[in-house]
Structures are given as structure tokens and as C-alpha cells.
Amino acid sequence: MTASLGWGEESRKAPRSEPLPADPIGQRLCEIFGHYPWNFIRADLPDDATVKAAWTTVSTYPLRPRVLWNYWQDANQLIGVRFTHDTRYALLDLDAGGDYCTSAGVAQIRAALETIGITRTLLLRSSWSGGLHLYIPFQELINTFNLAVTLKECLQAQGFRLQAGQLEIFPNVKAYGVQTFIEYMGHRLPLQPGSGSCLLDDDLNPIGSSLARFFWLWDGAAGHQDMDTLRHAMKIGRDNHRKRPKRRSHPVDSWRHDLDLEITEGWTAHGQTNHLLKTIACYGHVFEGIQGQALIDYTLRIALTRPGYDQYCRHQSDIERKITAWVRAVEGYYWPLGTTSSRDTSHSKNILVPFNQQQSEDAQHRICTAYAELEHARNLPEQITARAKAIAQLARVSQQTLYKHLSLWHPEHQEGVIASVASFLAPKEIISGPASESPEPREIKELHPSEEYMKGKALCAGDLESNLNSPSPERGVRGEKTSFPQESASVAYDPGLHKQIQHQFRHLGWSGEVICQFISDQLEGKRWSDLTNDERLLLLYRLRVLDP
């Protein structure tokens, strides 16, 4: 049954009968590069040869052989494919400007490959950019993943840097997807008309772009590979990969791998420019030891050659300025691997007073000032509700903030009022003691709902007491009814009026704190929940007068 087949078994079934192109060259192209038709990649051929193509993955339909041949012949577009579980070839990508994109670099890579039985390769210019593709053909199908790990271990063991912008292996050593299948990376097809791809000799001189000649050279190279040596190397490479501890890698190695993976993938959507520029600069500074103008040049070169840059990067007009800013930021935060940190981390992280604490102390100071002024003018009301409203209005604080600091104004806690007033009216540089020692919560200025919208019943003044040693009155002081210090009568709700007021506030761009203060100043210290419809209409009028 098909459902019982594993990931690697499906490719070994007899291939479906797909009509091939009539052209024998097209048939050969499809036999080699059309082995896996899913999730192929394509791009429009840029008008400017120096601009990198914007590759996209096509996952909506498979690439049939005749369609593949038709796409390859189209000089207005580029086409590419991915690997499946078995392959007849491998490909090394040497990026333009990298350390190995020279005749000497190619010779070194070929010498390294001979140690695992790969004795013949085909050298092509990949595009007008000047990058190189080194094809490794085989006469038989071999396991893709085993080939990938073997090539990687062979080149890494001989000192080659496998990373974006230098040397990349196709097929890549992909991760195993537990919940979803992970594809191998895609690569462009060789020698497409108008793409700038051509065959090269050992000195990197062009020797034509004939696909027929390419396959003639292909067959000659495939027949000279030492398959016995390669199969032995593949067994060792796969065993080493299996035995390698998966979770014992050093955090630095994991970080380096993660950065390299992100750089290799490049842009896949808008809004990724800042993240990728930082990643590239970080990799160059930490793992390559590059800094200054050299790091700026490195980051620019890698960024311009990453997939999706032309399609998704919206900062191409000022890319050098953004790269310079990110390089400066990276150099100030990271340092090259193996060197001493240049960042000063000895200073305390809490040398500044938290904002909420500053706000709370400021509110307490204003409450004490208001209490002293009212008492001096003999205008301090006796009733708790009236006193709270008068102090809150003069101190420009909310009722909830006022009730957090009962010891500053409430007659039941008169014992601490005089000392608190004296303390808060003193110069701020000599203030100490009560504010910092109080276990009271820090103030967070918000719009608070009226009593009728609260889930629990209203608390009396004593219930809000922060001093646990003081007795809490069971009812309101002096026989008053227990309630929040606001009108308990419900106010008719006019949604149209409410919407107009909201529109004015949004247009003015005020914060919630400014809105509360404006309402209090304009309507005798009231809050939104205290207002009648007439007062809200007046508020709307005054807002429109302010509207520029």
C-alpha cells in the first residue's frame, strides 16, 4: 500500500509514464534534472544583468517534463529544481567574490574531491554575476543525503568554509522534519538562453554554451568516477553523521549554524531587511573577525547576493546607509570570537528610579500640598466624600490614587497626616523614609470603571487601607453610605455622542492620562463616568474648539 511507504521508498517505485519532449536534448535534460517535479523554483530574467534574480517557489503544480523543457528554452525566465531521495549528480556553488571563485580555488576543490573518488567535474559560469557551478555527474542513482553529508565532511575536513557567499553544496545536509517534510534547496538549471551561463575551461575561459556539448562532457565525467571509493566514503560519512551527538554541540557552534542558515535562506517576505542585515554583520564580525569598513563591504556583498533581495527588500535605495548603521551597532555589542569583550557590563541595571515609583511619589507630594492648602484656607471639608473630591481636584489625581494614600488625608489616619505633609513639602533631595518604605502598590494611571461595572462590590475607605496596623471601619465614616466617591446614579448612554468624543480624542492624539486630566480640568474635577449627557455635550464642544 502507498500509505505504508517511507520517505525514501516512494522515489524507488517505477516512474510514472510522463510524455517527454520530442527533442533528444530536451529528453536528456528532463531525465537528469526532472527527477523531482515538486516545489520547483523560477524567476523572471532581470533586464539588468547585474541585478540578482528574484527566485520564488512554485508549489501549486508539478513541473512536467515537456513544461520543464519549454521553460528552459524561454529566454525571459529562469528555472530551477530540487533534489529528491536519489540523485545522479551533485553541484558546488562558488559565489562571485568568494575565496574559491578563482581557477586556483577550483583546482583546490577538485583535489579535495579526488580523496573520496570524485575524479571528474564540469565547470560552468552560473550567470552574468560571475559565480561558478561545479557539477559532479554519476552514471547511477545514489542516495542524496549520504552524498550530501559525505561532500560536507570531505570539504570541511580539508579546511574549506561552507557558508553563504563562499561555498555551498547542493544537495545540502537538510534537517529531518518530524511533523513536516523539509525540502532540499533548489538550484538553477545550467546553460539557459540569455542567463549568462556557459561552459568554462580550467582557466575560467568560456568555451561555449551548447547543451549537447554539456551532456557529452557529462557522460565522459560520469564514466570516470571511482564509485567504489565514493561508496566507501559515503558509508563512513553517513556513520559519522549518525554517531555525532545531536545535542552536545557547543552553543557557539549552534549559534553559528543558525546565523548561517538564516543568511542562506535570505529574504522570503517584506519586513526582514533589518533582521538579515544584523545577522550578516554579526556573522562577519564574530566568526570572520571583520570590522570597520571591511565589515560594511562584507555585509553589503553578502546581502546583495542573498535570495529574495530584489523582490522583498524595500531599502535598496539606502541599503549602504542601513548597513553602516547595523555594523556600528553590531561592533558596539558583539566582539570577534576568541577576543576579550569590549562591552562594559559592570554598571548596575537599576541605577534609575522606576517610572511608576516616580509617578507615585509625585502624586503623594501633590496630595500633601493640596491638603495643606485647603487646611490653611479653612476650606477642608469635614465629610469624607467632599474632602476626597476637593483634594483630588486640587492635587490633580484620580480618586483611586487618592485612596491608595489614606494616611495623607483621611481623618481616621490623622496621626500620620502632619508628618507626611511635612515630608512631602520638603525639598525632594532630602525626602526619605515614608515613600520608599511603604508597601503600597505603585501607581498605574488608567481610566477606572464606575461602581456599577465592577465585578465585586465597592469597598469602603477602610478596605483600601495600606497600613495593616490601622483598624478598618465596617461602614463609611460618620454614618455615610458605603460607596465609591462618585455619583451612584446611572447616566444614560448616548452611543452617538460617545463616538464623536472618541473621534476627537483620537484626532488630538492624546494619551489616557492627558484625557483624564482634561476632563477633570474642564468639568470641575469629574471623571468620564461622572458626566451627564449635557456635560458630555459640553466636553465635545470644548474638544472641537481645541481641534486645530
pTM: 0.47
Q: Give the end-to-end CA distance of the chain in Å, rounded to a whole number.
A: 75
Higher per-residue confidence, 206 vs 450: 206
Distance from C-alpha of 125 to C-alpha of 134, rounded to nearest angstrom: 9
Average pLDDT, the chain: 79
Q: Give backbone dihedrals phi and psi of 259, rounded to 5 degrees, phi first.
A: -65, -45
19-243 adopts what CATH topology? Answer: DNA primase, PRIM domain (3.90.920)
User: Is the Cβ–Cβ distance between 37 and 64 less than 8 Å?
Assistant: yes
Look at strands 132-143 and 167-170 and give their pairing. unpaired
Distance from C-alpha of 414 to C-alpha of 410, rounded to nearest angstrom: 6
Distance from C-alpha of 5 to C-alpha of 257, rounded to nearest angstrom: 32
> Considering only 33-47, 267-281, 351-365, which range has the smallest mean pLDDT?
351-365
Buried b (16+ CB within 10 A) or exposed e, 310-331: bbbbeeeeebeebbbebbeebb
Residue type present at position 115 = T
User: Whose CA is closest to 262, among 243, 277, 245, 240?
Assistant: 277
Q: Would you state the pLDDT for residue 506? A: 75
Residue 437's alpha-carbon distances to 321, 353, 387, 432, 467, in angstroms, are: 50, 14, 26, 9, 12
Q: What is the pLDDT of residues 487-517, one digit of tens each?
A: 444 445 677 787 788 888 777 777 777 788 7
Q: Would you state the pLDDT for residue 544? A: 75
211 CB-contact burial (10 Å; exposed 0-12 / middle 13-18 / buried 19+): buried
Look at strands 122-125 and 86-94 and give their pairing. unpaired
The ranges assigned to domains in the chain are 19-243, 251-333, 355-479, 495-546
Distance from C-alpha of 313 to C-alpha of 269, rounded to nearest angstrom: 8
Secondary structure (DSSP) of 271-282? T-HHHHHHHHHH
pLDDT higher than threshold 60 for residue 462? no
Q: What is the pLDDT of residues 41-73, one digit of tens each?
A: 999 998 887 788 899 999 999 999 999 999 999
User: Whose CA is closest to 165, among 279, 20, 18?
Assistant: 279
Q: How many CB atoms lie within 10 A of CB 417?
A: 19
Residue type present at position 480 = E
Report the percentage of the chain scoring pLDDT > 70: 77
Q: Would you state the pLDDT for residue 467? A: 41
For residues 290, 293, 294 and 298, what is the CA-based torsion angle, rounded to 10 degrees? 100
Cis upstream peptide for 473 (omega within 30°): no
Task: Spell out the residues 6+ positions from residue 1 whose beta carbon is closer than 8 angstroms to its own.
Answer: none
